[in-house]
Structure formats: structure tokens, C-alpha cells
Amino acid sequence: MKFFGNVMATVVGLFLFFMLSFFMLILFSALFGGDPDVVKVDDNSVLVFDMENVSNDYGGKYTDPLVTMFSEGKSIGVSDILNAISEAKKDDKIKGISILNDNTNTGIAQTKALRDALIDFKKSGKFIVAYSNGYTQKEYYLNSVADTIYLNPQGEVDFKGLATEVMYFKDFQEKSGITMEVIRHGKYKSAVEPFLDNKMSEANRTQLTAMLNSIWSSIVTEISQSRKVTVEKLNELANNLGARTPEMAKANKLVDRIAYEDEYHDAIRKRLKVNKDEKYNKVKLLDYARNVATSPSNFAKDRIAIVYAQGEILSGEGDVGYIGEGSIRRALQEARKDENVKAVVLRVDSPGGSALTSDLIWRELELTKKTKPVVVSMGNYAASGGYYISCNANTIFAENGTITGSIGVFGTLPNLTKLSNKVGINSVQVKTHTNASGYSPFVPLDDNFRNTIQSEIERIYTTFTTKVAQGRKLTVAQVDSIGQGRVWTGAEALKIGLVDKIGGMDDAIKEAAKLGKTTDYRTQDYPEYDKKFADLLAGFPFAKSKEQLIKEELGTENYEILQAAKRMTQRKGVQALLPVKIDIH
């Protein structure tokens, strides 16, 4: 026994030695090695546009800097990329931007913001060129701002219009015995429709058709302006798949040159006046963004606080990928108490989620409004619970393609009674009071419990519509007429009074500064998530490798489905959640 004890002591000692050495090395590098992310920008450089690993508006800050150091995105968000493009416009060392086989993972509103930033960059007289082996519609929408668009001789432009697909599970429930008990308010609250029917309701078809047409209209209008091709012609090309070959794409003015990648680089060398056999200077956009993010150039005393609320609304502290009341409420409280903060911009990119958490955040915004103006900037989504936390702002901005509204609530309860009966399981309850047992998935949902849940749904819907009415200066009846769970785009929401103006983050910041009565200001990002490095070590070194392994085995899309199923198990209480996720490809 003593022998095994000595062996274990040795193993533990070696482990502790290596761990201590590892962290000492990190500390030494941080103190004396400089910032490894700082990149040197040479004269006559090209900024290489690459957004594959950036999807959130906000990269995040943590109470423990070691968490930031080891985070996958290294705290770079779309907001940092936009700042980097703006800085590159003024940087004499940057001569142009190359968009090379970019696989941007941003939503439609974020892509619009990036597109606008690139258009502004071109005002400097610097060039933007784009090359792809094949453009998806979203990639083409972004790349269409380029001065010259290149396409591989074997590539294509996937330009065909927008579509969405909804899967229905009524028959599956009958056959499997696994059913979902649904209680809702809102004829358009179609998140639960697949459990109730085997076909799409006319109400859902109406809202999805209007939404897709609105988004498409915005996309083709902007492409039309950049490519000098009429909207009518673009719609004809979409109908006839008129860009499916390189030759067709060029003939219809969607691309400028059919070439291989080496020819593309030769063309850039020619612009830079670099010999054909020499390398030209390149700077990765993410590296450049880190330089800009870590080199503040504005030291104004006045500040505009930007509070990022991104992801599904759950509960707890929150993190970069989901909204919790802890971090958001703390951020608003800090901004409210800071006398140098003159106004708050709430950047919302959320399909909604927990009604309770939404209300807690709404309340904190009400308190903030009493001392400082609050402006909302809507991103890809600000729907259902995402709209709940937006509705009481002084001014609301949305992009044309923002998905918002969805003012409605629902609850779902899984029921396994039929399945348990099939396999010979019978559940019997004993209770002291009528409602003592609550809900059991092994007992049919009785009318009394259903009515109780329905009354809660109605109560929360009434609260939701009342708060929207107060915030938007509408009657409850008016809100109900545009509510009922219906989804609207930003362009549609402007017409019916759910938002005030069409615009991006810059517009919202300018409005906040105006309301805050300041002209000399800088922005400060919130929240700072209360997450310690010890939390990361809880699964070290297996947590990240497990995630990567699952992604490799299942593929990214299937991994996202798995994560969505995981989030479903985390949802508690009544939900105010967007009924559909929109991805533009």
C-alpha cells in the first residue's frame, strides 16, 4: 500500500509541477513577451477580409483576463471589425481590401453593417477586390460592393431568391407516442405549429412570405445600386438561375472577371505596383482589428455605454452566446451610476427566450431611463423576448432585414403517456391537493392544469402587450393587432410603429449622443461577464477537445442542432421566443 501511495504522490507532484510551470510561462509571456496579437503593418499593404470565425457583435470581456486569453474568439466581435475597417480607411499603409473566398458567418443585419462599412471605406479612394470559387447569396450580397469581382472558371453565383422550410411532427407524435402539449397565445406563434398540424397554416404562410419578400427586396435593391443592374433584371436572374455558370454571371454583370486565384493575386500586385514574382504585403483583418481594439485613440471624458444583449434569453449570469439577467442588469447599473456615461445604447441580437428574464432586464432599462436616455440598436434579431427588452427605449433603430416583433407567448410540455402505455408503463399518482402533483409527462394533461397554464399565458401576453403599448405610445388593441406572435422585418416594423428609424449601430450611437447632449465622447462596451479561469479548468483539458471532436464527427450543422436541443432542456417557465431561425446562404 505504501508503494502505491508513493507512486500516487509522485504522479500528483509531477502534475502540479507541470501545471505550475505552464501558468508561470503564461505569466512570464504576458509580462515580458509583449502582446502576441499585435501585428506590424508595412507600407503598401492589403487588408485580407476574413470573417469565418466571427459571428457575435461583441467578443466579450471577463472579470478574469485569463478567460479572455483562452477564449476561442479572443474577444473580437463584429463591432471590432467595423472599427477596424473605419481605421483602415484612414491608414496610409493600407491601400485596399481583398475579400478572398470569404465564408462570413454573420446574420443578414450584421452583413448589411459590414457592407455599409466597406462602401464607406471606398470613399477614401482605396480599392476593394473580391474573389471566390463560388458565391452563396449572402456572400455575393457582401462581395457585390467590390470594384472588381472575380469568379473561378469552374465556379458559380448561387443567386435564386430566398426560401425557408418548416418540418411538421404531428404524425411522428402519433406513431412514436411522444407528444408535445402546447399552450399559446397568438395565431402567428408558429414556433409550436409543427406539433399541432402536418401542414402550414395560412397565418404562418402569410408572415413567412411577407418576411422573405421584405428581406429579399432590401438585398436586391442594394446589389442593384452596387452593380448597376436593375432590380427587375436581378429578379429575372433569380427566377431563371441566370448566374449559375461563370459565363452567365459575367454576361449579366454579376461578376467582372473569370479567373484563377493566381491571376487575382497578379492583379492586386499590379494595383500595388509590385513585381509579378514578388510577394505583396498582407494584413489579416482579425489581426488588424485586435490592433485597433487594443490601441485606444479617443480619450474623451464623456462616454456612450454600449450594452450587448446577444443570443437566446435564458437566465443566470449570461455569456457571449446567451443573455442572462446577471451580466446585463449589472452592466446597466454600472452605466447608470457612472456620471461620465451620458447615454446607453442597448444592442439587441436575440430571438427571445425566458419571459421572466426578459422582464427583469426590461425593469432595469426602465430604471436607467429615469436618469439617462436609452437607445436600442437591433441586429439580426430582436424578436419576442428580444423585442420585450427593446420596447421601452427612447428610440429604436433596426436594419431593413432585422427580424423583430413576434409579440406572443407559448409553453410546451412533453408528454410520454402514449409511449409509456405502448411499452407497458402505467403511472399512478397519490396527492393531498388537486394541483399538488403539478405536471407529469406520464399522465395525460387534464383540463384543470391546462386552464391554469393557459391563464398564465394570457397574463404574460397581457403584460407583454401593455408594456409594448406604453413604450411605443400605442393602445393595447393596436399592439394586439400587430402582435399575436407575428414576425416582422425592420422595414415592416417601421411602418407599423414597432421601431422608430432604419439604421445601424453608428446611427444609434449618434442618436444616443444627441439625447445625452454630448458631442465629444467615446464608447465603452458592456457587459463584463463574471467568469473565472477556474470555471474553464473544470473541464480542462477535455471540454474543448470534446466540442471539437463532436463537430468533426457530426459536422457543424448537426452540432448546432445538438446545441439547440441542449438549450431546449435549459428553458424554464413561459417562453417568448422567435418561432423560426433565419439563415441567409
Give the pLDDT confidence score for residue 411 in this predicted structure.
81
Closest to 180 (Cα-Cα) out of 166, 157, 197: 197
Residues with a catalytic annotation lie at 189, 384
What CATH class has 45-160+241-293?
A: alpha beta
Q: In 3D, which of 166, 168, 93, 83 has the Cα closest to residue 120? A: 83
CA distance linking residue 563 with residue 542, whole number of Å: 18
The set of cell numbers assigned to 449 is: 392544469
Q: Which amino acid is at 247?
A: E
8 Å CB contact between 167 and 190? no
d(CA 429, CA 279): 77
DSSP code, position 446: P
Distance CA 111, CA 145 (A): 12
| Class of residue 529 by CB neighbours under 10 A (exposed 0-12, middle 13-18, buried 19+) | buried
Q: What is the homologous superfamily of the domain 302-414+472-577 according to CATH?
A: 2-enoyl-CoA Hydratase; Chain A, domain 1 (3.90.226.10)
Distances (CA, A) of 431 to 46, 428, 444, 452, 468: 73, 10, 16, 18, 41
Domain boundaries along the sequence of the chain = 45-160+241-293, 302-414+472-577
- What is the distance between the alpha carbons of residues 451 and 325, in angstroms, rounded to a whole number? 30
Q: How many CB atoms lie within 10 A of CB 244?
A: 15
- Please give the chain's pLDDT, 585 residues, in tens: 454 455 455 555 555 555 555 555 544 444 444 444 567 899 999 999 988 889 999 999 888 776 666 554 457 899 999 999 999 999 999 999 999 998 888 999 999 999 999 999 999 999 999 999 999 999 999 999 999 999 999 999 999 999 998 888 888 888 888 888 888 887 766 778 888 888 998 888 999 999 999 999 999 999 999 999 999 999 999 999 999 999 999 999 999 999 999 999 999 999 999 998 899 999 999 999 988 766 767 789 999 999 999 999 999 999 999 999 999 999 999 999 999 999 999 999 999 999 999 999 999 999 999 999 999 999 999 999 999 999 999 999 999 999 999 998 888 888 888 888 888 888 888 888 877 777 888 888 888 888 888 999 999 999 999 999 999 999 999 999 999 989 999 999 999 999 999 999 999 999 999 999 999 999 999 999 987 766 655 544 444 555 665 665 666 655 665 666 666 656 666 666 665 565 555
Give the pLDDT score at 191.
Answer: 74
Q: Which three cell numbers stand for residue 300?
A: 474623451
Same-fold call for 45-160+241-293 versus 302-414+472-577: yes
Long-range Cβ pairs for the range 241-248 (8 Å, 24+): 241/159, 241/160, 242/159, 243/156, 243/157, 243/158, 243/159, 244/156, 244/157, 244/158, 245/156, 246/151, 246/152, 246/153, 246/154, 246/155, 246/156
What is the DSSP secondary-structure string of 70-89?
HSTTTT--HHHHHHHHHHHH
Q: Residue 281's CB: how many other CB atoms inside 10 A?
A: 16
For residue 333 the three cell numbers come to 447599473
Q: Using the 8-state DSSP alphabet, how is residue 302 labeled?
A: E
Q: Cell digits for 342? A: 451620458
